């Protein structure tokens, strides 16, 4: 009887081993710890001003496997561990070889959202640390279809030295976060889609994007169309870039229906482990009806970084004017910040 048990257990173990081998899954856990000291002077809100130390700690999980037909499935999740555990980004990707890629953007990761601001920088975007930009962030392109959406991305095409990438994003609940698998979805009845095209050759990259929100944020069919276009050129250690974005709230009336415009530029120099950059961005609410164009919000930053293995030291001098793009008759507020940061990757 003991021999029979032994034989049975051995057979079961062999079966499990075969199953595991034929469905091998690779797991990886990584993370980083970001420590920053900043001195900020923001005339928009006194609470945002002052000197402070802060830390940001994140964990990243990756898992991938290959199906019997050769397709691949991968999962990525980013978790912010500050105070409470919170998922900040998550995607599931189905690689179909020459048929392209499907990606579920549970939280961020859409191709459209990835080109909201593609300017070169040594530390972060010009708007990244400005707390007063909740409604006037110039990187608005792709934000409406970034959560709970699905991407289809073509395989990269190489035509005589010209590289072409394109993607289509569909979001059944635009401007809403993704519903979980058991909730049955959200009932906003507002869908959105986006198309991205990028062409590269001889150091020059040109990209175009269009995002359409059916019914937008206004009732009764007032749609919204967001567009962006950019160009970057890299030669040796120097990269320069320029980008524009525009939000067209068609048929809109009042403040909600105002069009928005944004402009970005940047230049960076990288030599080995050292990088230096300068960037600018502008944001403006366009005129509508009797309401005139707002003042132009302007941001600029000089940044530098140095990488030593798993540690990166960064510094930034940032300033801005007309924060939150006030009305033409209002007093513009200013922003200045000096920050020094160290990032440890593990």
Note whether residue 22 is domain-resident.
no
Confidence band, pLDDT 50/70/90 cuts, at residue 82: confident
**Confidence at residue 15, expressed as pLDDT on a 0 to 100 scale:** 35
- What single-letter DSSP state applies at residue 113? G
Note whether residue 203 is domain-resident.
yes
Longest dimension (CA), the chain: 93
Task: Write the CATH number for 164.
Answer: 2.40.160.10
Neighbouring CB atoms inside 10 A of 141's CB total 29
Structure-model confidence comparison of residues 12 and 200, the more confident one: 200
**Is the pLDDT at 2 greater than 80, yes or no?**
no
How far is the C-alpha of 258 from the C-alpha of 283, rounded, in Å? 13
> Which whole-number Å values give the CA distances from 109 to 165, 196, 219, 325, in the listed order?
16, 14, 28, 28
Note whether residue 3 is domain-resident.
no
**Confidence at residue 18, expressed as pLDDT on a 0 to 100 scale:** 35
**Confidence at residue 16, expressed as pLDDT on a 0 to 100 scale:** 34
Note whether residue 21 is domain-resident.
no
How far is the C-alpha of 34 from the C-alpha of 311, rounded, in Å? 10
pLDDT (tens digit, 9 = 90+) per residue, 216-240? 555 555 678 999 999 999 999 999 9
pLDDT (tens digit, 9 = 90+) per residue, 244-291? 999 987 655 555 567 889 999 999 999 999 999 999 999 998 877 667
| pTM for the predicted model, two decimal places | 0.83
pLDDT (tens digit, 9 = 90+) per residue, 88-137? 889 999 999 999 999 999 888 899 999 999 999 999 999 987 766 667 88
- Taking a C-beta distance cutoff of 8 angstroms, is the pair 167, 210 a contact? no
**Is the pLDDT at 14 greater than 60, yes or no?**
no
Residue 248 structural domain: 27-345
Structural domains of the chain, count: 1
pLDDT (tens digit, 9 = 90+) per residue, 166-179? 999 999 888 766 65
Tokens 């922003």 belong to 335
- What single-letter DSSP state applies at residue 308? E
Note whether residue 16 is domain-resident.
no
Token pair listed for 23: 């469905």
**Confidence at residue 17, expressed as pLDDT on a 0 to 100 scale:** 35
Note whether residue 135 is domain-resident.
yes
Tokens 């009845």 belong to 189
Note whether residue 112 is domain-resident.
yes
**Confidence at residue 339, expressed as pLDDT on a 0 to 100 scale:** 94
Note whether residue 127 is domain-resident.
yes
């Amino acid at each position: 009887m003991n021999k029979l048990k032994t034989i049975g257990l051995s057979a079961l173990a062999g079966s499990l081993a075969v199953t595991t081998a034929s469905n091998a899954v690779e797991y990886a856990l990584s993370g980083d710890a970001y420590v920053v000291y900043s001195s900020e002077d923001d005339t928009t809100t006194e609470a945002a001003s002052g000197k402070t130390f802060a830390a940001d700690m994140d964990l990243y999980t990756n898992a991938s496997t290959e199906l019997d037909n050769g397709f691949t499935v991968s999962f990525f999740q980013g978790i912010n561990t500050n105070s409470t555990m919170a998922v900040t980004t998550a995607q599931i990707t189905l690689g179909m070889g020459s048929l392209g890629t499907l990606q579920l953007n549970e939280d961020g990761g859409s191709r459209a959202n990835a080109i909201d601001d593609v300017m070169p920088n040594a530390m972060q975007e010009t708007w990244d640390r400005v707390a007063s930009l909740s409604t006037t962030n110039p990187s608005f392109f792709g934000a409406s279809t970034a959560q709970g959406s699905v991407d289809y991305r073509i395989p990269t095409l190489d035509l005589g030295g010209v590289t072409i990438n394109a993607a289509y994003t569909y979001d059944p609940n635009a401007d809403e976060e993704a519903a979980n698998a058991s909730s049955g979805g959200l009932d906003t009845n507002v869908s959105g889609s986006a198309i991205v095209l990028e062409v590269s050759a001889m150091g020059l990259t040109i990209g175009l994007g269009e995002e359409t929100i059916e019914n937008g944020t206004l009732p009764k069919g007032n749609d919204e169309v967001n567009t962006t276009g950019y160009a970057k050129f890299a030669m040796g250690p120097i990269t320069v870039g320029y980008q524009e974005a525009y939000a067209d709230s068609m048929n809109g009336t009042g403040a909600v229906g105002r069009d928005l415009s944004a402009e970005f530029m940047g230049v960076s120099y990288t030599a080995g482990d050292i990088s230096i950059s300068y960037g600018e961005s502008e944001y403006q609410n366009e005129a509508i009806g009797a309401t005139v164009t707002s003042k132009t919000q302007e941001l600029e930053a000089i940044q530098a970084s140095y990488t030593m293995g798993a540690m990166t030291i960064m510094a930034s001098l940032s300033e801005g004017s007309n924060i939150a793009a006030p009305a033409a008759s209002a007093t513009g507020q200013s922003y200045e910040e000096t920050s020094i940061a160290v990032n440890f990757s593990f």
